[in-house]
Chains A and B, each alone.
Chain A
């Protein structure tokens, strides 16, 4: 079923390399104005999928449609891409890089505005190789926005950034969204997916294993809370209740109501010193669906 209003559509995308099935039948749609996330561990096929959507790699099978049509030259004019580990040419300043990329497009965004938005005004004369991680990501984002695109691709935009820089970047993305841009991003940080995305698709081994809004996805699979304690704190010969699971050195108890569980634990004589009570997260969801964790 095709949604006429979808901005970008992936239909049964497949990509095979010799010996490796990188992407194995991926389908989803991105609506205009949405922020759509592909969440998954390294090696899940996210970057390969992104490259096929960006038009850089051709799929072994399946197709990509932009506004209902196959990718063409007009597509290149309407998109912006922020690469994961991009290489800009040596010996160029921030300003020169921005200008060069702007010259490649027919229509460009207001330069001063873009510089202000990405907080680059003090960095304009600096060699691009001498930027810190956070500064470089801001420049790459500015370059991605230089042609005022309708659709922006962000490939693991905050990998390698410290928590503060990461948070700053998130607020930058939120500002970009207020301008009506559609964003497609990949990440293996669940907090990033939760913070930025309206809709996510969880990807593992080249396939989508779950899709939906971050909050509802978790609620669909888990109750309200997880109570965690060390296996050593569990009293000997006491069987696990049916709402509990043992994972390595941790025992997890899933429940909608915490106090009764605490009473139960106290009753059986479990050690409560290293107890944790968490809200289920995408991390837990991923673990449940795949058996391995998001963080490899």
Chain B
């Protein structure tokens, strides 16, 4: 019995370590992930609280509330839109407190926020220390009530985008390589079919699949969760379509000439995993190192996630997400041209 087990074991092991593409991926991926996490979070240790400050003093202060350690003081420009946006953030628990230093010192705090409560005490304590004699100089309190955004609500747009990415890359990239390997493309090469016709059909087919599944997932999620959708459905559909087109074109570019599925698999993994980690799908990149944040902006998935989140959570309009839309569609066009140019039937 053992002889048989060992024989099959040996054959399977040989199969494994001789599959160089698979082997590299198995060894490399965990290393890459560790490196990625180290890289992402290689910045300064994160602050405990986030406080917005409207019209902060130009000189750095060494005493008073603004000198409190372990607080991230984020400047807010003195215009109506920025202030309103900041107040909304307090309502959503994205800012723990908003300090107004314009004429009369005032602050907004969310009565439902535990963090807000603590920062408020720090603020009042700091002011009390500064002006021990004058009890009238404490800043005015303004309530900005609102529910916290749950993690599920925050992560949903990213998860939909992630689904779009995987479905687009593998549904097209891997499939075309498999066709090439099996001889399907060679059979088609002998017909009057032209590469651009073939590729367009693949793009459209995958687009239909991706959008349909995304809609179904969205509907399914809306039955289970009660997540915000403050923007218009048309805009959301538009941005996911642009994202899908971009990812599909990326998949086509990868598969334009590859002949082995293992290599295609490896390359697609190499593209999708960094995007998965660095695009703000699972955690916000705001606390990441500047280098990681730069890398994040180079990835199309980041922009799709940003736009989708903006629409669902902040109610962004088409105009608001126009930059992301333009970038996704522009990249999609560029990649499609490249894919058509480099495409080989064999």
Contacts and interface: CB of A to CB of B under 8 A. Distances in A.
B190 A89 contact: no
B183 A85 contact: yes
B183 A56 contact: no
A83 B193 contact: no
Contact of B192 (A54, A56, A104): A104
A254 to B, nearest CB: 44
Contacts of A88: 184, 187
A83 B346 CA distance: 15
A218 to B, nearest CB: 34
Nearest to B345: A56
Contact of B183 (A76, A83, A101, A106): A83
Contacts of A106: 192
A86 interface: yes
A105 interface: yes
Interface in B149-186: 179, 182-184, 186
Interface in A66-97: 73, 76-77, 79, 81, 83, 85-89
A155 to B, nearest CB: 11
Contacts of A101: 191
Contacts of B184: 87-89
User: Max chain B CB contacts within 10 Å: which of A55, A76, A106?
Assistant: A76
A79 B184 CA distance: 18
A106 B182 CA distance: 26
A40 to B, nearest CB: 22
A54 B183 contact: no
B182 A87 contact: yes
B191 A56 contact: no
A81 B187 CA distance: 8
* Interface secondary structure of A, over-half rule: loop
B187 to A, nearest CB: 5
B345 to A, nearest CB: 8
B192 A86 contact: no
User: Max chain A CB contacts within 10 Å: which of B191, B193, B345?
Assistant: B191
A81 B190 contact: yes
User: Max chain A CB contacts within 10 Å: which of B182, B187, B346?
Assistant: B187
Given A83-B183, A86-B183, A89-B184, A56 B193 contact: no
Contact of A87 (B187, B193, B346): B187
Contacts of B346: 56
A104 B189 CA distance: 11
A89 B189 CA distance: 14
A88 to B, nearest CB: 7
B330 to A, nearest CB: 32
B191 A54 contact: no
A105 B187 contact: no
Contacts of A86: 183, 186-187
Contacts of B187: 81, 83, 86-88
B171 to A, nearest CB: 14
Contacts of A87: 179, 182-184, 187
Contacts of A54: 190
A104 B193 contact: yes
Given A55-B190, A104-B193, 19 more contacts: A73-B192, A76-B191, A76-B192, A77-B192, A79-B190, A81-B190, A83-B183, A86-B186, A87-B182, A87-B187, A88-B184, A88-B187, A89-B179, A101-B191, A104-B188, A104-B191, A104-B192, A105-B191, A106-B192
15 contacts: A56-B189, A56-B346, A73-B192, A76-B190, A77-B192, A81-B187, A85-B183, A86-B186, A87-B183, A87-B187, A88-B187, A89-B179, A89-B184, A104-B188, A104-B192
Which 3 A-B residue pairings sit nearest by Cβ, starting from the closest? A87-B182, A87-B183, A104-B191
Interface of B: 179, 182-184, 186-193, 345-346
Interface of A: 54-56, 73, 76-77, 79, 81, 83, 85-89, 101, 104-106
